[in-house]
Amino acid sequence: MSEGGAVETTVETIETVPTMEKSLIAVIAVIAASLLIPLTGNKYALYLSTKIWILILYAIAFNVLFGYSGLLSFGHALFFSGSAYTLAILVARLDYPLVVGFILGIAAATLFSAVVGTLSLRHREIHFAMVTLAFSMLFWGIVMKWRDVTGGEDGITGFPRGFSMFWFYYFTVLVVVICSYLMYRFVKSDIGLILEGIRENETRVQFSGHSTLKYRLYAMIVSGTFTGVAGVLWALLDRTVTPTIAHWTFSAIPVIVTLLGGPQSFIGPAVGTIVYVIIQDLITKYTLYWQFIFGVAIVAVVLFFRGGVVGIVERYLRGR
Amino acid sequence: MILETQNLSKFFGGLRAVDDVSLSFEEESITAIIGPNGAGKTTFINLCTGLLKPNTGKIIFNGEDITHLPPHKRVLMGISRTFQISNIFPGLTVAQNIRIPLLSRGDKALSELEELMKVFEFEDIKDALASEISHGDQRLLEMAMAIATKPRILFLDEPTAGVNPAEKHRILEIVMRLKETEKLTIVIVEHDMDVVFKMAERIVVMNRGRILADGTPEEIKDDKAVREVYLKGVEI
């Protein structure tokens, strides 16, 4: 990768033990505090926080591929909407139980990521991004046109959530925390180390006796599967699926929040998601041009703070 | 015979970088490939290790045709290499750098990590980032990574380029020790004639993609054609 890439990585690797402990404490504190949200009785806050949790899972799953293996996918909406639509079709159209829809929805994302991975991972960088984008837009086209099954622009409604909003929030937090922990274990495993090696210097990994294609595919499947978990949660939250989540703009969300939060840190995408949703929500109240303001913020972070929000905080904590 | 090339050629556009080269290497031998810049030495290594695919010719390793195998499969068979410019994982620690090649041989191989650290004298810097250790240590780290795959033949592309004399001495000492303990076959590309004539049992001289001469150091020293194109003015 470029020189810039090598410089960025040092941010994470020299993360000292005290800051790791500090960030673990901070993460636990945020999770604990967020458990109080449903008790406030504020329905809007409850809805918004559920949404944030789901998008956090989406962003962390995306970053397993981007931050740890250096592969920028611009087609993650395919795995997100693939699982959401599978659940909706199975439950609303074919009368399967919700649990079956939930599990098969995730399985669909696994399958899609394996297929797209197999067909796209021979390409690198911008070519990989374009191939993944093409696959996801192909799926978007099918969703829009195959009205009998997908409902076209109207999407699919008419399936239960299985929980009240109150309990669905806790269910979501539980699922997101478990999935994030599993992904953390994955990136810190020996497979994760080999993926970091691929990001650093792919040729050297090949000359270390590893099929890099195989490991890139592992990363793709793990990333796609957990994106699928976020997708089924999203379907249940609104009890609706619409083509919005299949569109390429939905693939851009994890890219943006990851750059915002910091791709070199595991929780960076989560921090970016919280900042993204809150800024979006706040600015929309005052101006219709929130996207413009947001764009300026993103450009500033990417140009001047490559470690993202987490990088800025870390630097501050080290007193630099 | 551990490795053999048959009429191997590689063209870049009109340039014949490697032109009809047939060479073979005896087991546990140490061969130096020398020649002026652009002679095709590195290209030859790239072909043997799979970084490049030849236009024509064959590569036989241990009786098996490996001409079309990807690099990682050749590594698993026992062909390893270092690069002209240190090719390591700069953002990972020294220990992590060596762990990655060890993993290619399964979890059992990880027990060799300690031993490699000792052989390469990395105990004090094992948790340092590879980008922050000295240039000489980076060269040695790359060699340790190559050894971690347990090769039978090791290609070294200018292992002492750009290091100071003390580090050079240390690198050569470790190479010679490894050759004995690991029963390695070594093929080394080197510009430093001091190193070449001290280490090699056999010297192959390349020029413009072809083999100009092939013999013992004594034979090469006295070869008229070699002196003409390459050793002109060099004190041996």
Question: Residue B1: pLDDT band by 50, 70, 90 thresholds?
Answer: confident
- Please indicate whether, in this complex, the C-beta atoms of B70 and A211 are within 8 angstroms of each other: yes
Picking from B49, B72, B129, the nearest residue to A10 by CB comes out as: B129
Interfacial B residues in 8-47 facing A (CB < 8 Å): none
- Please indicate whether, in this complex, the C-beta atoms of A6 and B88 are within 8 angstroms of each other: no
Sorted by sequence, the CB contacts under 8 Å of residue B153 that are 6+ apart come out as: B2, B3, B25, B61, B78, B79, B80, B184, B185, B186, B187
Which pLDDT score is estimated for B142? 94
Whether the pLDDT of residue A12 is over 90: the answer is no
The alpha-carbon gap from B232 to the nearest alpha carbon of chain A, in Å, equals: 36
Question: Residue A14: pLDDT band by 50, 70, 90 thresholds?
Answer: very low
Q: Is A194 on the interface with B (CB under 8 A)?
A: yes
Mean pLDDT value of segment A85-95? 93
Which pLDDT score is estimated for A4? 37
Q: Hey, how many other C-beta atoms are within 10 angstroms of the C-beta on A119?
A: 12
Q: What is the mean pLDDT of chain A?
A: 87
Q: Which residues of B touch A9 (CB under 8 A)?
A: 90-91
Q: To the nearest whole percent, how much of chain A has pLDDT over 70?
A: 92
Reference B187, options B197, B178, B200, B174; nearest CA is B200
Which pLDDT score is estimated for A1? 36
Total structural domains within chain A: 1
Q: Is B189 on the interface with A (CB under 8 A)?
A: no
Q: Distance (Å, rounded) from C-alpha A297 to C-alpha B114?
A: 48
Which pLDDT score is estimated for B167? 86
Which pLDDT score is estimated for A18? 59
Region of B200 (left: φ > 0; alpha: ψ -120 to 50; beta: rest) is beta
Q: Could you report the predicted ipTM of this complex, rounded to two decimals?
A: 0.91
The alpha-carbon gap from B160 to the nearest alpha carbon of chain A, in Å, equals: 19
Which pLDDT score is estimated for B184? 93
B206 SS3 class: strand
Question: Residue A9: pLDDT band by 50, 70, 90 thresholds?
Answer: very low
> Residue B156: beta bridge partners?
B188
Domain regions of chain B by residue span: 3-87+152-231
Q: What is the CATH number of the domain that holds A149?
A: 1.10.3470
Residues A156-207: pLDDT tens digits?
Answer: 888 888 889 899 999 999 999 999 999 999 999 999 999 999 999 999 999 9
Q: Is B93 on the interface with A (CB under 8 A)?
A: yes
The alpha-carbon gap from B114 to the nearest alpha carbon of chain A, in Å, equals: 17
Fold of B3-87+152-231: Rossmann fold (3.40.50)
Q: Is B76 on the interface with A (CB under 8 A)?
A: yes
Mean pLDDT value of segment A60-85? 94
Residues B152-173: pLDDT tens digits?
Answer: 999 999 988 888 888 888 888 8
Which pLDDT score is estimated for B192? 86
Look up the domain containing A124 and give its range.
Answer: 3-317
> Residue B234: beta bridge partners?
none
Which pLDDT score is estimated for B235? 52
User: CB–CB of A196/B102 below 8 Å?
Assistant: no
Picking from B87, B101, B103, the nearest residue to A203 by CB comes out as: B87
